Amino acid sequence: MLVNLEDGVCRSQIVVTDADDATMTVECTLCGDSYSVEPDAFNDGGVVYWPAAMGHNRGGGGDE
């Protein structure tokens, strides 16, 4: 999933490649750099990219 951000770590095209309880792993598609960031690293309060990356999209069908 692509992350649209103006405040990104790399200020490039960042893709979230993985996530766990406390971090997201992101990769820059331009320079190939890969690193872990906090769930709210993209100023979304940790409620947009991280849950999506964790596969917790809403409306998926009541899996808790």
Alpha helices in 1-64 (DSSP H): 49-53
| Backbone φ and ψ of 17, nearest 5° | -105, -20
SS3 25: strand
Residue 12 near Zn ion by CB under 5 A: yes
How near is the Cβ of 26 to Zn ion at its closest, in Å? 10
Residue 31 near Zn ion by CB under 5 A: yes
Give the tokens for residue 49: 């990219």
Residue 9 near Zn ion by CB under 5 A: no
Judged by CB, which is closer to Zn ion: 29, or 57? 29
- Binding residues for Zn ion (CB under 5 A): 10, 12, 28, 30-31
